[in-house]
Structure 1
Amino acid sequence: MPKTDGRVLALDLGTSSARALVLSPDASPVPGALARHKIAPTYGGRGEATIDLHDYIEGLLGCLDELQQNGHLTDISDIVLSSQWHSIVALAGTGQALTPVIPWVDTRSVPPTVDSSFDEHAFHARTGAWLHRLYWTRRIPWLRSVVSPSSYAGLPDLVLERLTSERVTSVSIASGTGTLDLATGSYDAEALAVAGVSESQLPAIVPTGWTGVLSSAFALRWPALAGVPIHPPTGDGAASNVGTGGYDETTAAVTVGTSAAVRVVHPIDGAPELPWELWRYRVDDRRAVTGMAFSAAGNLHAWLTAVLQLDAEHREPTGVEIGSSRVIGIPFQAGTRPPETVPGGSGAYFGLSFDDTAADLLAASLQGASLEIDRGLRMLDGLFGRDLQVVLGGGGIDASAWWRKCLTATFARPTEVCAEAEVGARGAAAVALGLSPSPGGESLKPVATDVERVAALRPRYESLRALAAQASAVLNT
Structure 2
Amino acid sequence: MPKTDSRVLALDLGTSSARALVLSPDLSPVEGALARHKISPSYGAGGAATLDLHDYVEGLLGCLDELQQNGHLVDISDIVLSSQWHSIVALSSTGAALTPVIPWVDTRSVPAPVGSDFDECAFHARTGAWLHRLYWPRRIPWLRSIVSPAFYAGLPDLVLERLTSERVTSVSIASGTGTLDLASGAYDAEALAVAGVSGSQLPPIVPTGWTGVLSSAFALRWPALAGVPIHPPTGDGAASNVGTGGYDETTAAVTVGTSAAVRVVHPIEDAPELPWELWRYRVDDKRAVTGMAFSAAGNLHAWLTGVLQLDAGHREPTGIEIGSSRVIGVPFQAGTRPPETVPGGSGAYFGLSFDDTAADLLAASLQGASLEIDRGLRMLDGLFGRQLEVVLGGGGIDASAWWRNCLTATFARPTEVCAEAEVGARGAAAVALGLSPAPCGESLRPVAADVDRVAELRPRYESLRALTVQAANSLS
CA deviation after TM superposition for structure 1 residue 469, in Å: 0.8
Deviation at 1:5, TM superposition (A): 2.1
Q: Counterparts of 1:27 and 1:296 in 2: how far apart (Å)?
A: 29
Residue in 1 that maps onto 2:298: 298
Verify the 8 A CA contact 2:170 2:233 in the aligned structure 1.
Answer: yes
Which amino acid letter does the alignment assign opposite residue 142 of structure 1?
W
Shift of residue 475, structure 1, vs aligned partner: 2.9
| In 1, Cα distance between equivalents of 2:317 and 2:5 | 44
So what's the TM-score if we normalise by structure 2? 1.00
The Cα of 1:3 is off from its aligned counterpart by 1.3
Deviations 1:294-318 (A, max 9, x none): 0000000000000000000000000
Give the corresponding residue for 1:65.
Answer: 65
Equivalent in the alignment of 1:200 = 200
Match of 1:436 in 2: 436
Q: Is the 8 A contact 1:26 1:435 kept in 2?
A: no
* CA deviation map 1:119-146 (0-9, x unaligned): 1000000000000000000000000000
Aligned to 2:317: 317
Match of 1:227 in 2: 227
Distance (Å, rounded) in 1 between the aligned partners of 2:346 and 2:17: 26
Q: Which residue of 2 aligns with 1:357?
A: 357
The match for 2:370 is 370
Aligned 1:96-175 pairs, distance under 5 A? 96-175=96-175
Counterparts of 1:266 and 1:359, CA distance in 2:
39
Q: Residue type matched to 1:46 in 2?
A: G
- For 1:392 and 1:86, the matched residues in 2 are separated by 23
* Distance in 1, Cα, partners of 2:282 & 2:189: 18
Distance of 1:7 and 1:397 partners within structure 2? 26
Q: Does structure 2 conserve the Cα–Cα contact (< 8 Å) formed by 1:9 and 1:80?
A: yes
For residues 44 and 302 of structure 2, what CA distance do their matches in structure 1 show? 20
What is the aligned partner in structure 2 of residue 191 from structure 1? 191
Residue pair 2:316, 2:400 contacting (<8 A) in 1 also:
yes
Deviation at 1:285? 0.2
What is the DSSP-based 3-state SS (H/G/I as helix, E as strand, rest coil) of the residue aligned with 2:304? helix
Q: Are 1:19 and 2:3 matched, yes or no?
A: no
Q: Deviations over 1:395-432 (max 9, x none)?
A: 00000000000000000000000000000000000000
Q: State whether structure 2 residue 245 is matched by structure 1 residue 240.
A: no
Displacement after TM superposition at 1:27 (Å)? 1.0
After TM superposition, the runs of 4+ consecutive aligned structure 1 residues lying more than 4 A away are none
Rounded Cα–Cα distance in structure 2 between residues aligned with 1:449 and 1:273? 36
Write the distance in 2 (CA, Å) between the matches of 1:228 and 1:237. 25
Task: In structure 2, give the amino acid aligned to 1:446.
Answer: P
- 1:116 deviates by 1.3
Structure-1 separation of matches of 2:471 and 2:277 = 22
Inter-partner Cα distance in structure 2 for 1:316 and 1:335: 24
C-alpha separation in 2, matches of 1:152 and 1:270: 32
Gaps of 5+ in 1: none
Aligned pairs for 1:328-367 (under 5 A) are 328-367=328-367
Give me the whole-angstrom Cα distance separating, in 2, the residues matched to 1:169 and 1:473: 36
The alpha carbon displacement at 1:437 in A equals: 0.3
Q: Partner of 1:250 in structure 2?
A: 250
Secondary structure (helix, strand or coil) at the match of 1:372 reads helix
* Secondary structure of the structure 2 residue equivalent to 1:349: strand
Question: Residue type matched to 2:451 in 1?
Answer: V
- Decide whether the 8 Å contact of 2:341 with 2:473 is kept in 1: no
Amino acid across the alignment from 2:269: D
Is 1:35–2:42 an aligned residue pair?
Answer: no
Where 2:47 maps in the other structure, the secondary structure is coil
The residue aligned with 2:48 is 48
Distance 1:264 1:325 in 2: 31
Which residue type is aligned with residue 393 of structure 1? G
Instruction: Please list every run of 5 or more consecutive structure 2 residues that lacks an aligned counterpart in the other structure.
Output: none
Q: Distance in 2 between matches of 1:139 and 1:463?
A: 34
C-alpha distance in structure 1 between counterparts of 2:98 and 2:36, whole Å: 26
Alpha-carbon distance, 1:7 to partner: 0.4
Please list the CA deviations of residues 337-357 of structure 1 after superposition, one character each: whole Å capped at 9, or x if unmatched: 000000000000000000000
Q: Partner amino acid for 1:293?
A: A
SS at match of 1:46: helix
Post-superposition shift, 1:46?
1.0
Verify: 1:462 aligned to 2:462, yes or no.
yes
Distance 1:130 1:208 in 2: 25
Distance 1:175 1:334 in 2: 23
Task: Report the secondary structure of 1:361's partner residue.
Answer: helix
Q: Give the Å deviation of 1:6.
A: 1.1
- How far the C-alpha of 1:470 sits from its partner, in A, is 1.3
Q: Secondary structure at the match of 2:34?
A: strand
**Matched residue type, 1:47:** G
In the TM superposition, what is the alpha-carbon distance from 1:113 to its structure 2 partner? Answer: 1.1
Superimposed CA distance per residue, residues 192-213 of structure 1 (whole angstroms, 9 cap, x where no aligned partner): 0000000000000000000000
Task: Give 1:465 shift.
Answer: 0.1
Deviation at 1:473, TM superposition (A): 2.3
| Rounded Cα–Cα distance in structure 2 between residues aligned with 1:473 and 1:35 | 42
Q: Name the aligned partner's letter for residue 215 of structure 1.
A: S
Contact 2:48–2:107, Cα closer than 8 Å, also in 1: yes
| 1:450 counterpart residue number | 450
